A and B are shown apart, each in its own frame.
Chain A
Amino acid sequence: MTGALMEVAGLAKHYPVRRGLLSRITGQVRAVDGLSFELFRGETLALVGESGCGKSTTARLVLRLIEPTAGTVRFEGADITGLRGDAMRKLRRRMQIVFQDPFASLNPRMTVAEILEEPLIVHSIGNGAARRARVAELLGLVGLAPYHAGRYPHEFSGGQRQRIGIARALAVEPALVVCDEPVSALDVSIQAQVVNLLKDLQARLGLSYLFIAHDLAVVKHVADRVAVMYLGRIVEIGPKDDVFANPRHPYTRVLLSAIPRPDPHRKLARSAAGSETPGGDVPSPANVPPGCRFHTRCPFVIDRCRAEDPALHDIEPGHLSACHRAEELPAAAAMETVQAAAPAAARRLALYAERRATQQAAG
């Protein structure tokens, strides 16, 4: 990692709520409300949170697909918040996006070759022959075959379509790829293929990923750092191992404990201990609670939380939390009874891995 590729400072997006005959503004939906973070070269920063927390809005803001209400985005050292016209178009080559829904994000009337060639044409890259060569190269890069170029999206499975979406994003050789829930619409076995592909591509091409997800288990697998969002704000950010092993915001703990684990023994242990599931829904971003945004659902709430909005502050180097009680939260280790796979299961999974490695090596 060699410094920040992208620096986001005080980013906000508020949507006015209009009511009545004269469309008077009666409120603000604060979709993103004061976000600051850095994305380093070659790293994966995951933005996680539940629906409505502003993670997809953030993705669109950093790509300048929508205009921020406040704040700045710096990319490769330059402020891109006010860029227009040609300068903006040049910038778009450097940052691309992979969308969630591989069924809706590919034009059904275009062949794969046309889909992959389009960004090259838009950015006037190469001539016809060079572009065709590039399309073949891209297909190989994402594990598809050259003969797939002439086919239409409907001829592909979800996983293959997501590979096409990834190839399209990579066509113009970007430095940053924003992945907006790239695997959440896919089956588990296919998710694993796509996650592995994204990791391989990052290693080969030195890409930076801003990885938007709600699935913390996937995030644990792909990210270097994790930012947890709640109601338009980052409530905790840090290296993934620190955040997962030592969560310092009650919301992060709630998210971690709510994930259903493929471990039937945990159910038994948990039903004995009582569950930590919080009640209630996420409040509406049109009606953000005063003080700490999470205080309405927080099991650790005190009076100060209702009045005073906590700022992100350092807990340990690079690990920040926006909680008044971040330092005094009990260790989270107690709720994570780490259960190794049973011996029979572990043995067979190891055999499975071994066989797969041999077969892949054999081609």
Chain B
Amino acid sequence: MADLLEIDGLRTVFRSPSGDVPAVDGVSLSVARGRTLGIVGESGCGKSMLSLSVMRLVPSPGRVAAGRVVFDGQDLLALPGRAMRAVRGKRIGMIFQEPMTSLNPVFTVGDQITEAMRAHDPSASKAALRARAVAALDRVRIPGPARRFDDYPHQMSGGMRQRVMIAMALSCDPDLLIADEPTTALDVTVQAQILDLLRDLQAQSGMAIILITHDLGVVAEMADEVAVMYAGRVVERASGTAIFDDPQHPYTLGLLGSIPRIEETRSRLLAIEGSVPAPFALPEGCRFHPRCVFSAPACTRVDPPLRGLGADHQAACIRAPVEDLAA
């Protein structure tokens, strides 16, 4: 079966006085129906810009400079604006990180949910829209959905608002949900509820999910496939289990070493020194080499492409697998 979404060689750049600065630089990814693709990386790695590029919502002065985004057989980048608006929100839903700021404080949540529905179904009656919105709120397990329909966002807790955002994104039964850090601002028990909810909704509807996060724990809980991004590139792609059991790229290793694990006691965390380079100051060769403990002279010259390291497992590192290196 063909994948629902195929991103091929996507490059998103921002215009600057000194030339185009790449935020996403040659990313190819795909996700099938009913599957969850986790995109992991730290701030500034381009993961949010990637999702905005898919939705064609890249803010000016940025633009998609190259590549294709094939969704269900259509290249979204080639669609006229009107056709794209019919895809956005209806066939691809999106939820954002900040449930506090993504809702309009002066409209009730019911107004905001029905607004999206009305945009895609202008002939529906007010009563029908209300019934559908209440059903959507019920589906995301908001207690007393008929009463909550008339609430304003400030009357709800953070977890509740994120449920409203999910209800809104799912109100038109999208085939693909892009969730950009959906639980980052939430408490752990609420996060667990929201992740449970997303899993259940996916099992019911068979939608595909692209889950963007910096939290490897969330990835382990949710993702079937994982792409690790660094400085605008995908540096490793693997299944949700292989990325943890068989990590290949030194950046992935660094991320895994950085997270404090509850089940073990290490005196020190394996931090990655330094920080992510800015897109206008990318190093020559491999973009990770200045921070990499395994870097060799060749790494400063060769920009490594993704290459296969086992079934459905690719990494962009000339030094992988690192255990084969001479000490």
Contacts and interface: CB of A to CB of B under 8 A. Distances in A.
Interface of A: 50-51, 157-160, 187-193, 195-196, 199, 214-218, 220-221, 244, 254-267, 275, 277-279, 281-282, 336, 338-339, 341-342, 344-345, 347-349, 351-353, 355-356, 359
Given A51-B187, A267-B221, A258 B192 contact: yes
Contacts of A275: 192, 196
User: Which among B187, B220, B260 has the highest number of chain A CB atoms within 10 Å?
Assistant: B260
A357 B224 CA distance: 34
12 contacts: A193-B271, A221-B260, A255-B189, A259-B217, A260-B220, A261-B263, A262-B256, A262-B259, A264-B245, A277-B196, A352-B322, A353-B270
Contacts of A277: 189, 192-193, 196
A214 B217 CA distance: 15
Contacts of A262: 216-217, 219-220, 244, 256, 259, 261
Given A51-B158, A261-B217, A262-B256, A196 B189 contact: no
Interface of B: 42-43, 157-160, 187-193, 195-196, 214-222, 240-241, 244-248, 250, 253-263, 265-273, 275-276, 293-294, 321-323
A92 B214 CA distance: 37
Given A157-B275, A265-B241, A348-B247, A189 B258 contact: yes
Contacts of A50: 187-190
Given A221-B265, A257-B192, A278-B189, 18 more contacts: A50-B187, A187-B43, A188-B214, A188-B258, A189-B255, A190-B271, A220-B260, A262-B217, A262-B219, A264-B240, A265-B241, A277-B193, A277-B196, A281-B159, A353-B257, A355-B293, A356-B270, A356-B293
A181 B320 CA distance: 36
Given A157-B275, A279-B193, A338 B263 contact: yes
A263 B223 CA distance: 11
Contact of B215 (A257, A260, A345): A260
B258 A191 contact: yes
Contact of B323 (A257, A339, A348): A348
Contact of A260 (B160, B217, B260): B217
A345 B270 contact: no
Nearest to B263: A338
Contacts of A266: 220
Contacts of B270: 192, 349, 352-353, 356
Contacts of B260: 192, 195, 217-218, 220-221
A262 B256 CA distance: 8
Contacts of B247: 344-345, 348
Contacts of B322: 348, 351-352
Q: Which 3 A-B pairs have the closest CB atoms?
A: A260-B217, A342-B245, A192-B271
B245 A189 contact: no
Contacts of A190: 42, 271, 275
Nearest to B247: A345
Contacts of A215: 188
A255 to B, nearest CB: 6
Given A50-B188, A217-B260, A261 B245 contact: no
User: Which among B42, B187, B247, B267 has the highest number of chain A CB atoms within 10 Å?
Assistant: B187
B187 A345 contact: no
Contacts of A281: 157, 159-160, 190
B244 to A, nearest CB: 5
Contact of B42 (A187, A199, A352): A187
A196 B263 contact: no
A240 to B, nearest CB: 9
B221 A217 contact: no
B191 A258 contact: yes
B233 to A, nearest CB: 17
A264 B216 CA distance: 10
Contacts of A157: 275
Contacts of B275: 157, 159-160, 187, 189-190
A258 B188 contact: yes
Nearest to B245: A342
User: Which among A344, A347, A352 has the highest number of chain B CB atoms within 10 Å?
Assistant: A352
B286 to A, nearest CB: 16
User: Which among A189, A261, A277, A339 has the highest number of chain B CB atoms within 10 Å?
Assistant: A189
Contact of A189 (B219, B265, B272, B321): B272
Nearest to B258: A192
A180 B214 CA distance: 21
Given A188-B216, A195-B260, A264-B240, A216 B158 contact: no
B37 to A, nearest CB: 14
A261 B262 CA distance: 8
A263 B221 CA distance: 8
Contacts of A282: 187
Given A214-B187, A281-B190, A359-B293, A192 B269 contact: yes
A278 B141 CA distance: 13
